[in-house]
Amino acid sequence: MTIDLDQLRSGNRRALAKAITLAESKLDSHREQAQLVLEQLLPFTGNSIRIGITGIPGVGKSTFIETFGLHLIAQGKKVAVLAVDPSSPLAGGSILGDKTRMEELSRQEYAFIRPSPSEGALGGVAQKTRETMLLCEAAGYDVILVETVGVGQSEYEVAGMVDFFMVLMLPNAGDELQGIKRGIMELADALVINKADGESLNLAQQTKRHYENAMHLLRHTSFWSPQVLTCSAQEKNNIDTVWGMICNYYVDAVKNNYFTEKRARQNQEWMDKLLLEMLSLKLKQNPDVKKQLPVLHQKVTSGETTPFIAAKTLIDLL
Ligand code: GDP
């Protein structure tokens, strides 16, 4: 498969889609080619703001992304929407992908919507989404929305690849806080209470105050305290306030050198993670290790040797 890099950079969607297909391919040869494409495009990546969006099913993620995306396009932005779905099609049924989503946004010339990749080999689904994100940046998309659902590790993975991480919530004051994984709150740069409309408007305001009082649970940086906002994705209320908040964050993060530092740290952490995965794969594929592993398991089980010595013996075989 040949990818026309000039076409991709000029924003040609077919060239972009082809490059993404290559990156998502199960064939080693395709993935190697994708890495070469990525390396050549690397100087043209990074010129976007990467926003992670999470929330339980039904909170209004797709409605929000549709409204938010259309708002951004009206501001002259090019918007890419990517998804990290831990239960993607091949793993049996997807949480994010199986309904008709973001219909109006998907018809826009300046929107690009890509469903979650199916299970990835090395680095998993998140690795592919990272690569897709870079390809979209090279194609000139200046806002990348990465959506995920609150299952397992996916929020951590998404938070580790974006500049700004947002948790959508329902108007539901009270002990709802207990229902949300504490760890996720700690990842949030903002909590956005959606469905602040109609009869829920008051409840949404109460919920906002409730979370503002729980702010001490959230992670603060030297220049940013997580914000709590309300909006209505359906009624298109306060969508501009959410975007305004992210723009403020961006300006402050750049001013404080935090923006590039965070990205550099994310890249390093990602490299370390890949390195560990590659090492582990190499270990498992080594013929001597394959032969010795059951023998050493047995020795450890029967108490003939210690787990430490067994593990060290295998490492020394590499
Ligand atoms: P997702 O599962 O998080 O992607 O949620 P959806 O976007 O599919 O929305 C779930 C339901 O909530 C749908 O019936 C939407 O019409 C509704 N919904 C989404 N946003 C709003 C909102 O701002 N206000 C109200 N009242 N309903 C909303």
Please indicate, yes or no, whether residues 132 and 56 belong to a single structural domain of this protein: yes
Does position 119 have pLDDT exceeding 70, yes or no? no
Please indicate, yes or no, whether residues 113 and 236 belong to a single structural domain of this protein: yes
Strand, helix or coil for residue 237: strand
**Ligand 1: does its nearest atom lie under 6 Å from the Cβ of 54?**
no
Does the residue 151 lie in any domain?
yes
Partners of residue 113 on adjacent β-strands: 81
Domain boundary among 213, 234, 256: 256
Does the residue 135 lie in any domain?
yes
CB-neighbour burial class of residue 208 (10 A; exposed 0-12, middle 13-18, buried 19+): buried
**Ligand 1: does its nearest atom lie under 6 Å from the Cβ of 189?**
no
Domain boundary among 256, 289, 305: 256
Å from CA of 79 to ligand 1 middle: 21
pLDDT-derived band at 87 (thresholds 50, 70, 90) equals low
Which pLDDT value is given to residue 277? 87
pTM (global) more than 0.85: yes
**CA-wise closest residue to 244 among 205, 169, 190:** 190
Please indicate, yes or no, whether residues 65 and 181 belong to a single structural domain of this protein: yes
Does the residue 39 lie in any domain?
no
Structural domain that includes position 280: 270-316
Å from CA of 194 to ligand 1 middle: 8
Q: Across all residues in the chain, what is the average pLDDT?
A: 89
What CATH number corresponds to the domain at position 92?
3.40.50.300
**Ligand 1: does its nearest atom lie under 6 Å from the Cβ of 242?**
no
The encoded tokens of residue 206 equal: 């109460």
54 and 188 Cβ atoms separated by less than 8 Å? no
Å from CA of 60 to ligand 1 middle: 4
Please indicate, yes or no, whether residues 221 and 284 belong to a single structural domain of this protein: no
Does the residue 309 lie in any domain?
yes
- Atom in ligand 1 nearest the alpha carbon of residue 59: 3
> Residue with the nearest Cα to atom 18 of ligand 1?
60
Å from CA of 84 to ligand 1 middle: 19
Residue-wise pLDDT for 166-177, tens only, equals 999 999 866 555
Please indicate, yes or no, whether residues 53 and 179 belong to a single structural domain of this protein: yes
Report which secondary-structure segment, H or E, holds 105.
Answer: helix 103-106
Does position 96 have pLDDT exceeding 80, yes or no? no
Does the residue 153 lie in any domain?
yes
- What is the rounded distance in angstroms from the CA atom of residue 136 to the CA atom of residue 108? 16
Please indicate, yes or no, whether residues 219 and 246 belong to a single structural domain of this protein: yes
> Residue with the nearest Cα to atom 5 of ligand 1?
60
- Residue 68 vs residues 5, 24, 125: alpha-carbon distances, Å: 30, 27, 25
- What is the rounded distance in angstroms from the CA atom of residue 314 to the CA atom of residue 297? 11
Å from CA of 69 to ligand 1 middle: 15
Please indicate, yes or no, whether residues 95 and 186 belong to a single structural domain of this protein: yes
Please indicate, yes or no, whether residues 224 and 251 belong to a single structural domain of this protein: yes
Å from CA of 64 to ligand 1 middle: 8
Please indicate, yes or no, whether residues 234 and 291 belong to a single structural domain of this protein: no
Contacts with 141 (C-beta within 8 Å, 6 or more apart), sequence order: 48, 78, 79, 80, 112
Partners of residue 114 on adjacent β-strands: 82
Please indicate, yes or no, whether residues 220 and 293 belong to a single structural domain of this protein: no
Please indicate, yes or no, whether residues 88 and 237 belong to a single structural domain of this protein: yes
169 and 55 Cβ atoms separated by less than 8 Å? yes
**Ligand 1: does its nearest atom lie under 6 Å from the Cβ of 67?**
no
Å from CA of 232 to ligand 1 middle: 9
Range picked from 49-58, 80-89, 138-147 for highest mean pLDDT: 138-147
Residue-wise pLDDT for 207-217, tens only, equals 999 888 887 77
Does the residue 192 lie in any domain?
yes
> Residue with the nearest Cα to atom 6 of ligand 1?
60
Which pLDDT value is given to residue 89? 46
Please indicate, yes or no, whether residues 176 and 287 belong to a single structural domain of this protein: no
**Ligand 1: does its nearest atom lie under 6 Å from the Cβ of 232?**
yes
CA atoms within 13 A on the CB side of 248: 13
Which pLDDT value is given to residue 36? 94
Does the residue 8 lie in any domain?
no
- Atom in ligand 1 nearest the alpha carbon of residue 198: 26
Domain count, the chain: 2
Does the residue 23 lie in any domain?
no
Beta strands in the chain (DSSP E): 49-54, 79-84, 111-114, 143-148, 164-169, 190-193, 227-230
